[in-house]
Amino acid sequence: MNAPFRLGIAGLGTVGTGVVKIVQTHGAALAAKAGRPVEIAAVSARNRSLDRGVDLSAYAWEDDATRLASREDVDCVIEVIGGSNGPAKALAEQALAAGKHVVTANKALIAHHGQELAEAAEAAGAALRFEAGVAGGIPVLKAIGEGLAANQLTRVFGVLNGTCNYILSEMETSEADYADVLAEAQRLGYAEADPSFDVGGIDAAHKLAILAALAFGTRIDFEGVVTEGIERITLADIKTARDMGYAIKLLGLARMHETGLEQRVRPCMVAETTPIGALTGVTNAVVAEGDFVGSCVFTGPGAGEGPTASAIVADVLDAARGIVTPAFGRPAANLKPAPRLQHGEEHSPYYLRFMLADRPGALAAIASALGEKGVSIHRMRQYGQGDPVPVVIETHDAHRDAIDAAVASISNLPVSQAPPVAIRIEEA
Protein backbone atom coordinates (compact mmCIF):
# COMPACT_ATOMS: atom_id res chain seq x y z
CA MET A 1 0.00 0.00 0.00
CA ASN A 2 1.29 3.47 -0.87
CA ALA A 3 1.95 6.21 1.67
CA PRO A 4 -1.15 7.71 3.32
CA PHE A 5 -2.81 10.76 1.82
CA ARG A 6 -3.03 13.15 4.77
CA LEU A 7 -5.73 15.76 5.23
CA GLY A 8 -5.91 19.03 7.11
CA ILE A 9 -9.48 20.21 7.68
CA ALA A 10 -10.14 23.92 8.28
CA GLY A 11 -13.63 24.43 9.67
CA LEU A 12 -15.58 21.95 11.77
CA GLY A 13 -19.12 23.08 11.22
CA THR A 14 -21.76 20.91 9.64
CA VAL A 15 -19.78 20.15 6.48
CA GLY A 16 -16.35 19.76 8.05
CA THR A 17 -17.76 17.40 10.63
CA GLY A 18 -19.45 15.48 7.83
CA VAL A 19 -16.07 14.95 6.16
CA VAL A 20 -14.65 13.59 9.41
CA LYS A 21 -17.59 11.17 9.67
CA ILE A 22 -17.07 9.86 6.13
CA VAL A 23 -13.34 9.32 6.62
CA GLN A 24 -13.92 7.58 9.95
CA THR A 25 -16.81 5.46 8.63
CA HIS A 26 -15.46 4.48 5.21
CA GLY A 27 -11.71 4.49 5.76
CA ALA A 28 -11.12 1.04 4.29
CA ALA A 29 -13.29 1.71 1.23
CA LEU A 30 -11.60 5.07 0.61
CA ALA A 31 -8.18 3.44 0.79
CA ALA A 32 -9.23 0.79 -1.70
CA LYS A 33 -10.53 3.41 -4.12
CA ALA A 34 -7.56 5.76 -3.76
CA GLY A 35 -4.91 3.03 -3.74
CA ARG A 36 -3.57 4.46 -0.47
CA PRO A 37 -4.95 5.22 3.00
CA VAL A 38 -6.81 8.52 3.36
CA GLU A 39 -6.20 9.92 6.84
CA ILE A 40 -6.91 13.08 8.78
CA ALA A 41 -3.72 14.56 10.23
CA ALA A 42 -4.88 17.90 11.63
CA VAL A 43 -7.97 20.04 12.08
CA SER A 44 -8.77 23.65 12.90
CA ALA A 45 -11.80 25.55 14.13
CA ARG A 46 -12.61 28.55 16.29
CA ASN A 47 -13.84 26.59 19.32
CA ARG A 48 -11.72 23.66 20.45
CA SER A 49 -14.03 22.62 23.30
CA LEU A 50 -17.29 22.38 21.35
CA ASP A 51 -18.85 18.90 21.25
CA ARG A 52 -19.29 18.10 17.55
CA GLY A 53 -20.44 14.51 17.95
CA VAL A 54 -17.22 13.05 16.50
CA ASP A 55 -13.97 11.95 18.11
CA LEU A 56 -11.19 14.38 17.17
CA SER A 57 -8.67 13.25 19.76
CA ALA A 58 -6.42 11.51 17.24
CA TYR A 59 -5.84 14.66 15.20
CA ALA A 60 -3.49 17.57 15.76
CA TRP A 61 -5.26 20.86 16.45
CA GLU A 62 -4.37 24.25 14.98
CA ASP A 63 -6.03 27.34 16.41
CA ASP A 64 -4.82 29.27 13.35
CA ALA A 65 -6.22 27.58 10.24
CA THR A 66 -3.49 28.97 7.99
CA ARG A 67 -0.93 26.88 9.87
CA LEU A 68 -2.35 23.82 8.14
CA ALA A 69 -0.67 25.09 4.98
CA SER A 70 2.82 24.73 6.48
CA ARG A 71 2.39 21.38 8.21
CA GLU A 72 4.65 18.69 6.75
CA ASP A 73 2.11 15.99 7.63
CA VAL A 74 -0.66 17.55 5.47
CA ASP A 75 -0.88 16.76 1.75
CA CYS A 76 -4.32 18.26 1.10
CA VAL A 77 -6.11 21.14 2.80
CA ILE A 78 -9.90 21.02 3.00
CA GLU A 79 -11.27 24.55 3.39
CA VAL A 80 -14.80 24.79 4.78
CA ILE A 81 -14.42 28.03 6.72
CA GLY A 82 -16.43 30.11 4.26
CA GLY A 83 -16.18 33.69 3.08
CA SER A 84 -14.60 35.14 -0.02
CA ASN A 85 -11.66 36.69 1.82
CA GLY A 86 -10.02 36.53 5.26
CA PRO A 87 -8.74 33.20 6.61
CA ALA A 88 -10.29 31.13 3.80
CA LYS A 89 -8.47 33.03 1.06
CA ALA A 90 -5.22 33.19 3.02
CA LEU A 91 -5.31 29.45 3.71
CA ALA A 92 -5.98 28.53 0.08
CA GLU A 93 -3.20 30.81 -1.18
CA GLN A 94 -0.65 29.56 1.35
CA ALA A 95 -1.53 25.92 0.84
CA LEU A 96 -1.14 26.16 -2.94
CA ALA A 97 2.11 28.09 -2.57
CA ALA A 98 3.36 25.20 -0.42
CA GLY A 99 2.41 22.71 -3.14
CA LYS A 100 -0.54 21.24 -1.24
CA HIS A 101 -3.81 20.29 -2.86
CA VAL A 102 -6.85 22.39 -1.93
CA VAL A 103 -10.43 21.11 -1.80
CA THR A 104 -13.13 23.59 -0.86
CA ALA A 105 -16.90 23.98 -0.67
CA ASN A 106 -16.53 27.76 -0.70
CA LYS A 107 -18.32 29.08 -3.81
CA ALA A 108 -17.82 32.71 -2.75
CA LEU A 109 -14.04 32.20 -2.63
CA ILE A 110 -13.98 30.62 -6.09
CA ALA A 111 -16.44 33.12 -7.60
CA HIS A 112 -14.27 36.05 -6.50
CA HIS A 113 -10.76 34.59 -6.72
CA GLY A 114 -11.03 31.48 -8.88
CA GLN A 115 -8.74 32.69 -11.65
CA GLU A 116 -5.81 33.60 -9.43
CA LEU A 117 -6.19 30.42 -7.36
CA ALA A 118 -6.33 28.30 -10.53
CA GLU A 119 -3.11 29.93 -11.75
CA ALA A 120 -1.45 29.30 -8.38
CA ALA A 121 -2.53 25.66 -8.40
CA GLU A 122 -1.09 25.05 -11.87
CA ALA A 123 2.17 26.77 -10.96
CA ALA A 124 2.48 24.46 -7.95
CA GLY A 125 1.35 21.32 -9.75
CA ALA A 126 -1.41 20.97 -7.19
CA ALA A 127 -5.13 20.30 -7.48
CA LEU A 128 -7.75 22.95 -6.79
CA ARG A 129 -11.15 21.28 -6.54
CA PHE A 130 -14.52 22.77 -5.58
CA GLU A 131 -17.23 20.32 -6.63
CA ALA A 132 -19.03 20.83 -3.32
CA GLY A 133 -19.36 24.56 -3.98
CA VAL A 134 -22.03 24.13 -6.68
CA ALA A 135 -25.20 22.06 -6.22
CA GLY A 136 -24.00 20.21 -3.12
CA GLY A 137 -23.93 16.48 -3.71
CA ILE A 138 -24.62 16.64 -7.46
CA PRO A 139 -21.36 15.98 -9.38
CA VAL A 140 -22.23 18.59 -11.96
CA LEU A 141 -18.82 20.28 -12.23
CA LYS A 142 -17.10 17.00 -13.06
CA ALA A 143 -19.89 16.17 -15.51
CA ILE A 144 -19.52 19.48 -17.32
CA GLY A 145 -15.74 19.76 -17.15
CA GLU A 146 -14.96 16.13 -17.99
CA GLY A 147 -18.00 14.13 -19.05
CA LEU A 148 -19.22 16.74 -21.53
CA ALA A 149 -15.78 17.94 -22.62
CA ALA A 150 -16.33 16.79 -26.21
CA ASN A 151 -19.24 19.20 -26.61
CA GLN A 152 -19.59 22.87 -27.28
CA LEU A 153 -22.05 23.85 -24.59
CA THR A 154 -24.75 26.29 -25.61
CA ARG A 155 -26.63 26.88 -22.36
CA VAL A 156 -26.30 25.99 -18.69
CA PHE A 157 -29.11 26.77 -16.29
CA GLY A 158 -30.88 25.53 -13.24
CA VAL A 159 -32.18 25.91 -9.72
CA LEU A 160 -29.04 26.57 -7.70
CA ASN A 161 -30.39 27.59 -4.29
CA GLY A 162 -32.45 25.18 -2.22
CA THR A 163 -33.74 27.84 0.15
CA CYS A 164 -35.40 29.78 -2.65
CA ASN A 165 -36.80 26.66 -4.24
CA TYR A 166 -38.26 25.56 -0.93
CA ILE A 167 -39.92 28.94 -0.41
CA LEU A 168 -41.40 29.15 -3.91
CA SER A 169 -42.60 25.55 -4.03
CA GLU A 170 -44.03 25.76 -0.50
CA MET A 171 -45.88 28.98 -1.39
CA GLU A 172 -47.51 27.06 -4.23
CA THR A 173 -48.30 23.96 -2.18
CA SER A 174 -49.56 25.64 0.98
CA GLU A 175 -50.86 28.84 -0.65
CA ALA A 176 -49.08 30.83 2.06
CA ASP A 177 -47.53 34.27 1.64
CA TYR A 178 -43.80 34.79 1.13
CA ALA A 179 -43.18 36.18 4.63
CA ASP A 180 -44.90 33.22 6.32
CA VAL A 181 -43.02 30.61 4.27
CA LEU A 182 -39.71 32.39 4.84
CA ALA A 183 -40.32 32.31 8.59
CA GLU A 184 -41.05 28.58 8.40
CA ALA A 185 -37.87 28.02 6.33
CA GLN A 186 -35.89 29.79 9.05
CA ARG A 187 -37.52 27.65 11.74
CA LEU A 188 -36.60 24.47 9.83
CA GLY A 189 -33.03 25.62 9.28
CA TYR A 190 -33.36 26.01 5.50
CA ALA A 191 -32.87 29.79 5.74
CA GLU A 192 -30.50 31.82 7.89
CA ALA A 193 -31.62 34.45 10.37
CA ASP A 194 -30.45 36.95 7.74
CA PRO A 195 -31.68 35.25 4.56
CA SER A 196 -30.66 38.00 2.14
CA PHE A 197 -27.70 36.06 0.73
CA ASP A 198 -30.08 33.30 -0.40
CA VAL A 199 -33.35 35.07 -1.24
CA GLY A 200 -31.48 37.98 -2.85
CA GLY A 201 -29.88 35.63 -5.38
CA ILE A 202 -26.23 36.16 -4.36
CA ASP A 203 -25.61 32.52 -3.43
CA ALA A 204 -27.00 31.36 -6.78
CA ALA A 205 -24.96 34.03 -8.60
CA HIS A 206 -21.71 32.71 -7.09
CA LYS A 207 -22.56 29.22 -8.32
CA LEU A 208 -23.63 30.42 -11.76
CA ALA A 209 -20.38 32.32 -12.29
CA ILE A 210 -18.46 29.10 -11.60
CA LEU A 211 -20.68 27.06 -13.92
CA ALA A 212 -20.36 29.62 -16.72
CA ALA A 213 -16.56 29.73 -16.53
CA LEU A 214 -16.36 25.95 -16.65
CA ALA A 215 -18.97 25.56 -19.38
CA PHE A 216 -17.64 28.20 -21.76
CA GLY A 217 -13.93 28.30 -20.97
CA THR A 218 -14.00 31.93 -19.87
CA ARG A 219 -12.51 33.76 -16.94
CA ILE A 220 -14.87 33.77 -14.02
CA ASP A 221 -16.92 36.98 -13.93
CA PHE A 222 -19.12 37.17 -10.87
CA GLU A 223 -19.55 40.93 -11.29
CA GLY A 224 -21.14 40.28 -14.68
CA VAL A 225 -24.00 38.21 -13.25
CA VAL A 226 -27.27 40.17 -13.39
CA THR A 227 -28.92 39.30 -10.09
CA GLU A 228 -32.47 39.61 -8.80
CA GLY A 229 -33.98 37.76 -5.85
CA ILE A 230 -37.42 36.41 -5.04
CA GLU A 231 -38.51 39.04 -2.51
CA ARG A 232 -41.10 40.60 -4.84
CA ILE A 233 -42.78 37.32 -5.81
CA THR A 234 -46.29 37.21 -4.36
CA LEU A 235 -48.76 34.41 -3.79
CA ALA A 236 -50.86 35.99 -6.53
CA ASP A 237 -47.98 35.50 -8.98
CA ILE A 238 -47.58 31.87 -7.86
CA LYS A 239 -51.28 31.15 -8.37
CA THR A 240 -51.43 32.91 -11.71
CA ALA A 241 -48.36 31.05 -12.95
CA ARG A 242 -49.97 27.74 -12.02
CA ASP A 243 -53.16 28.75 -13.80
CA MET A 244 -51.09 29.48 -16.93
CA GLY A 245 -49.23 26.14 -16.72
CA TYR A 246 -46.02 27.55 -15.24
CA ALA A 247 -44.04 27.36 -12.02
CA ILE A 248 -41.91 30.23 -10.73
CA LYS A 249 -38.27 29.35 -10.01
CA LEU A 250 -35.20 31.37 -9.14
CA LEU A 251 -33.24 30.40 -12.24
CA GLY A 252 -29.55 30.84 -12.84
CA LEU A 253 -28.77 30.87 -16.55
CA ALA A 254 -25.60 31.27 -18.60
CA ARG A 255 -25.58 31.35 -22.40
CA MET A 256 -22.93 32.43 -24.88
CA HIS A 257 -24.21 34.76 -27.61
CA GLU A 258 -22.29 36.12 -30.59
CA THR A 259 -22.10 39.49 -28.84
CA GLY A 260 -21.25 38.31 -25.34
CA LEU A 261 -21.87 36.08 -22.35
CA GLU A 262 -25.29 36.21 -20.73
CA GLN A 263 -25.25 35.46 -17.00
CA ARG A 264 -28.32 36.14 -14.89
CA VAL A 265 -30.07 34.98 -11.76
CA ARG A 266 -33.73 35.97 -11.79
CA PRO A 267 -37.14 34.59 -10.96
CA CYS A 268 -38.48 32.95 -14.11
CA MET A 269 -41.58 31.11 -15.17
CA VAL A 270 -40.95 27.64 -16.57
CA ALA A 271 -43.41 25.04 -17.76
CA GLU A 272 -44.52 23.04 -14.73
CA THR A 273 -44.15 19.76 -16.63
CA THR A 274 -40.38 20.14 -17.15
CA PRO A 275 -37.79 18.72 -14.72
CA ILE A 276 -37.03 22.26 -13.53
CA GLY A 277 -40.69 23.23 -13.22
CA ALA A 278 -41.53 20.09 -11.26
CA LEU A 279 -38.69 20.55 -8.78
CA THR A 280 -39.84 20.89 -5.17
CA GLY A 281 -38.31 21.45 -1.75
CA VAL A 282 -34.59 22.13 -1.27
CA THR A 283 -33.54 20.02 -4.27
CA ASN A 284 -31.21 21.54 -6.87
CA ALA A 285 -31.17 20.87 -10.60
CA VAL A 286 -28.78 21.84 -13.39
CA VAL A 287 -29.38 21.46 -17.13
CA ALA A 288 -26.43 21.50 -19.54
CA GLU A 289 -27.05 21.63 -23.29
CA GLY A 290 -24.34 20.51 -25.70
CA ASP A 291 -24.17 20.40 -29.48
CA PHE A 292 -23.55 16.63 -29.65
CA VAL A 293 -25.04 15.30 -26.42
CA GLY A 294 -28.21 17.38 -26.35
CA SER A 295 -29.76 18.18 -22.98
CA CYS A 296 -28.47 16.61 -19.75
CA VAL A 297 -30.36 17.08 -16.48
CA PHE A 298 -28.69 16.68 -13.08
CA THR A 299 -30.81 16.72 -9.93
CA GLY A 300 -30.14 16.01 -6.29
CA PRO A 301 -29.58 17.48 -2.82
CA GLY A 302 -28.01 20.92 -3.09
CA ALA A 303 -26.80 21.35 0.48
CA GLY A 304 -26.50 19.69 3.87
CA GLU A 305 -23.87 17.76 5.80
CA GLY A 306 -23.97 14.48 3.91
CA PRO A 307 -24.26 15.65 0.29
CA THR A 308 -21.68 18.43 0.61
CA ALA A 309 -19.20 16.28 2.53
CA SER A 310 -19.71 13.54 -0.07
CA ALA A 311 -18.66 15.92 -2.85
CA ILE A 312 -15.61 17.04 -0.88
CA VAL A 313 -14.41 13.49 -0.28
CA ALA A 314 -14.88 12.66 -3.97
CA ASP A 315 -12.51 15.53 -4.81
CA VAL A 316 -10.10 14.30 -2.16
CA LEU A 317 -10.04 10.85 -3.76
CA ASP A 318 -9.09 12.30 -7.13
CA ALA A 319 -6.21 14.20 -5.54
CA ALA A 320 -5.13 11.09 -3.64
CA ARG A 321 -5.05 9.15 -6.92
CA GLY A 322 -2.75 11.79 -8.38
CA ILE A 323 -5.37 13.22 -10.72
CA VAL A 324 -4.47 16.89 -11.12
CA THR A 325 -6.41 18.69 -13.84
CA PRO A 326 -7.00 22.40 -14.51
CA ALA A 327 -9.59 23.80 -12.12
CA PHE A 328 -11.83 25.17 -14.89
CA GLY A 329 -11.37 22.39 -17.44
CA ARG A 330 -8.53 24.01 -19.38
CA PRO A 331 -5.21 25.68 -18.50
CA ALA A 332 -5.79 28.94 -16.63
CA ALA A 333 -3.81 30.85 -19.26
CA ASN A 334 -6.37 29.75 -21.87
CA LEU A 335 -9.30 31.23 -19.94
CA LYS A 336 -10.13 34.49 -21.66
CA PRO A 337 -12.43 37.28 -20.45
CA ALA A 338 -15.78 37.14 -22.24
CA PRO A 339 -17.57 40.32 -23.24
CA ARG A 340 -20.77 40.74 -21.27
CA LEU A 341 -24.07 40.62 -23.08
CA GLN A 342 -25.33 44.18 -22.99
CA HIS A 343 -28.46 44.91 -20.97
CA GLY A 344 -31.54 44.66 -23.14
CA GLU A 345 -30.08 42.26 -25.69
CA GLU A 346 -31.54 39.22 -23.90
CA HIS A 347 -35.02 38.35 -25.09
CA SER A 348 -37.87 35.97 -24.28
CA PRO A 349 -41.59 36.08 -23.59
CA TYR A 350 -42.55 37.84 -20.36
CA TYR A 351 -45.26 37.66 -17.74
CA LEU A 352 -46.46 41.13 -16.74
CA ARG A 353 -48.76 41.87 -13.80
CA PHE A 354 -50.47 45.22 -13.34
CA MET A 355 -52.81 46.57 -10.69
CA LEU A 356 -55.16 48.81 -12.65
CA ALA A 357 -57.86 51.24 -11.68
CA ASP A 358 -61.27 49.82 -12.60
CA ARG A 359 -62.25 52.43 -15.14
CA PRO A 360 -63.01 52.50 -18.88
CA GLY A 361 -59.94 52.64 -21.10
CA ALA A 362 -57.51 51.17 -18.55
CA LEU A 363 -56.71 48.08 -20.60
CA ALA A 364 -56.47 50.13 -23.78
CA ALA A 365 -53.93 52.43 -22.11
CA ILE A 366 -51.79 49.44 -21.10
CA ALA A 367 -51.97 47.85 -24.54
CA SER A 368 -51.08 51.15 -26.18
CA ALA A 369 -48.05 51.67 -23.93
CA LEU A 370 -46.78 48.16 -24.68
CA GLY A 371 -47.31 48.66 -28.41
CA GLU A 372 -45.38 51.92 -28.37
CA LYS A 373 -42.33 50.08 -27.02
CA GLY A 374 -42.64 47.23 -29.52
CA VAL A 375 -44.00 44.65 -27.06
CA SER A 376 -46.64 42.35 -28.56
CA ILE A 377 -49.36 40.75 -26.41
CA HIS A 378 -49.83 36.97 -26.62
CA ARG A 379 -52.66 36.70 -24.10
CA MET A 380 -54.28 38.86 -21.45
CA ARG A 381 -56.45 38.04 -18.47
CA GLN A 382 -58.13 39.96 -15.66
CA TYR A 383 -58.16 38.15 -12.32
CA GLY A 384 -60.99 38.88 -9.91
CA GLN A 385 -62.83 42.09 -9.33
CA GLY A 386 -62.33 45.19 -7.28
CA ASP A 387 -60.46 48.45 -7.53
CA PRO A 388 -57.63 48.14 -8.29
CA VAL A 389 -57.96 44.94 -10.29
CA PRO A 390 -55.05 42.60 -11.21
CA VAL A 391 -54.43 42.23 -14.94
CA VAL A 392 -51.92 39.71 -16.28
CA ILE A 393 -50.35 39.80 -19.74
CA GLU A 394 -48.12 37.20 -21.39
CA THR A 395 -46.09 38.78 -24.16
CA HIS A 396 -44.59 37.34 -27.30
CA ASP A 397 -40.79 37.26 -27.47
CA ALA A 398 -39.47 40.68 -26.46
CA HIS A 399 -36.14 42.28 -25.61
CA ARG A 400 -35.59 43.12 -21.97
CA ASP A 401 -34.94 46.80 -22.66
CA ALA A 402 -38.32 47.07 -24.41
CA ILE A 403 -40.02 45.39 -21.44
CA ASP A 404 -38.25 47.71 -18.99
CA ALA A 405 -39.21 50.77 -21.01
CA ALA A 406 -42.84 49.67 -21.27
CA VAL A 407 -43.07 48.87 -17.54
CA ALA A 408 -41.56 52.26 -16.65
CA SER A 409 -44.02 54.02 -18.92
CA ILE A 410 -47.03 52.12 -17.55
CA SER A 411 -46.03 52.70 -13.93
CA ASN A 412 -46.47 56.44 -14.56
CA LEU A 413 -49.95 56.11 -16.03
CA PRO A 414 -52.89 57.28 -13.88
CA VAL A 415 -54.54 53.86 -14.22
CA SER A 416 -51.54 52.05 -12.69
CA GLN A 417 -52.12 51.65 -8.93
CA ALA A 418 -48.98 49.67 -7.95
CA PRO A 419 -45.52 48.98 -9.36
CA PRO A 420 -45.84 46.50 -12.27
CA VAL A 421 -44.15 43.09 -12.05
CA ALA A 422 -42.20 41.56 -14.96
CA ILE A 423 -41.07 37.91 -14.89
CA ARG A 424 -39.22 36.25 -17.71
CA ILE A 425 -40.70 33.08 -19.21
CA GLU A 426 -37.87 30.63 -19.92
CA GLU A 427 -37.90 27.52 -22.06
CA ALA A 428 -36.66 24.83 -19.70
Q: What distance in Å separates the CA atoms of residue 133 and residue 2, rounded to the nearest whole number?
A: 30
Work out the angle at residue 273's Cα, subtended by the Cα atoms of residues 263 and 280, and round it to the nearest 5 degrees.
70
Asked whether 418 and 229 are in contact (CB, 8 A), the reply is: no
**Residue 240 neighbours by CB under 8 Å, 6+ apart:** 351, 353, 383, 390, 392
Count CA atoms closer than 13 A to 125's CA, side-chain side: 2
Q: What distance in Å separates the CA atoms of residue 89 and residue 76, rounded to the nearest whole number?
A: 15
**Which spans in 253-334 are helix H?**
305-320
In a domain, 193, yes or no: yes
Q: Which of 136, 145, 101 is nearest to 9 (CA)?
A: 101
In a domain, 96, yes or no: yes
Do 172 and 262 fall into the same domain?
Answer: yes
For residue 276, pLDDT beyond 80: yes
CATH classification of the domain holding 361: 3.30.70.260
Q: What distance in Å separates the CA atoms of residue 293 and residue 149, rounded to the nearest whole number?
A: 10
Average of per-residue pLDDT across 404-423: 94
Q: What distance in Å separates the CA atoms of residue 3 and residue 33, rounded to the nearest whole number?
A: 14
For residue 384, pLDDT beyond 80: no
In a domain, 313, yes or no: no
β-partners of residue 357 are: none
DSSP-derived 3-state class of residue 335:
coil
Do 128 and 53 fall into the same domain?
Answer: yes
Q: Which of 60, 56, 94, 64 is nearest to 77 (CA)?
A: 94
Do 160 and 296 fall into the same domain?
Answer: yes
**Domain count of the fold of the chain:** 3
Do 78 and 144 fall into the same domain?
Answer: no
Looking at residue 238, its pLDDT comes to 95
Do 28 and 149 fall into the same domain?
Answer: no
Domain of residue 228 covers 140-301
The b/e string for 331-349 (b: 16+ C-beta within 10 A; e otherwise) is ebeebeebebbeeeebebb
In a domain, 338, yes or no: no
For residue 324, pLDDT beyond 80: yes
Average pLDDT of the chain is 95
The whole-model pTM stands at: 0.95
Looking at residue 205, its pLDDT comes to 98
For residue 1, pLDDT beyond 70: no
Average of per-residue pLDDT across 349-372: 93
Q: Between helices 178-188 and 162-174, what is the axis angle to 10°?
A: 130
Do 219 and 360 fall into the same domain?
Answer: no
CATH classification of the domain holding 60: 3.40.50.720
For residue 17, pLDDT beyond 70: yes
Average of per-residue pLDDT across 196-209: 97
Average of per-residue pLDDT across 265-288: 96
Asked whether 238 and 277 are in contact (CB, 8 A), the reply is: no
Do 167 and 211 fall into the same domain?
Answer: yes
Asked whether 305 and 312 are in contact (CB, 8 A), the reply is: no
Do 130 and 189 fall into the same domain?
Answer: no
Do 145 and 132 fall into the same domain?
Answer: no
- Catalytic annotation, pick one of 89, 107, 207, 249: 207
207 is catalytic: yes
Q: What distance in Å separates the CA atoms of residue 137 and residue 162, rounded to the nearest whole number?
A: 12
Looking at residue 190, its pLDDT comes to 85
Asked whether 87 and 65 are in contact (CB, 8 A), the reply is: yes
In a domain, 341, yes or no: no
Looking at residue 385, its pLDDT comes to 76
In a domain, 317, yes or no: no
Do 231 and 293 fall into the same domain?
Answer: yes
For residue 199, pLDDT beyond 80: yes
pLDDT tens digit string along 288-315? Answer: 999 999 999 999 998 889 999 999 999 9
Say whether the peptide bond before residue 388 is cis (omega within 30 degrees of 0). yes
Do 165 and 296 fall into the same domain?
Answer: yes
pLDDT tens digit string along 86-125? Answer: 999 999 999 999 999 999 999 999 999 999 999 999 999 9
In a domain, 92, yes or no: yes
With cut-offs at 50, 70 and 90, classify the pLDDT of residue 386.
confident
Average of per-residue pLDDT across 356-379: 93
Do 47 and 127 fall into the same domain?
Answer: yes
Looking at residue 428, its pLDDT comes to 84
Kind plus residue range of the DSSP H or E element containing 332: none
Q: Which of 32, 39, 29 is nearest to 6 (CA)?
A: 39
CATH classification of the domain holding 201: 3.30.360.10
For residue 59, pLDDT beyond 90: yes
pLDDT tens digit string along 393-405? Answer: 999 999 999 999 9
For residue 337, pLDDT beyond 80: yes
For residue 229, pLDDT beyond 80: yes
**Which spans in 103-234 are helix H?**
107-124, 140-142, 162-174, 178-188, 196-199, 202-216
Q: What distance in Å separates the CA atoms of residue 260 and residue 346, rounded to the nearest whole number?
A: 10
In a domain, 216, yes or no: yes
With cut-offs at 50, 70 and 90, classify the pLDDT of residue 383.
confident
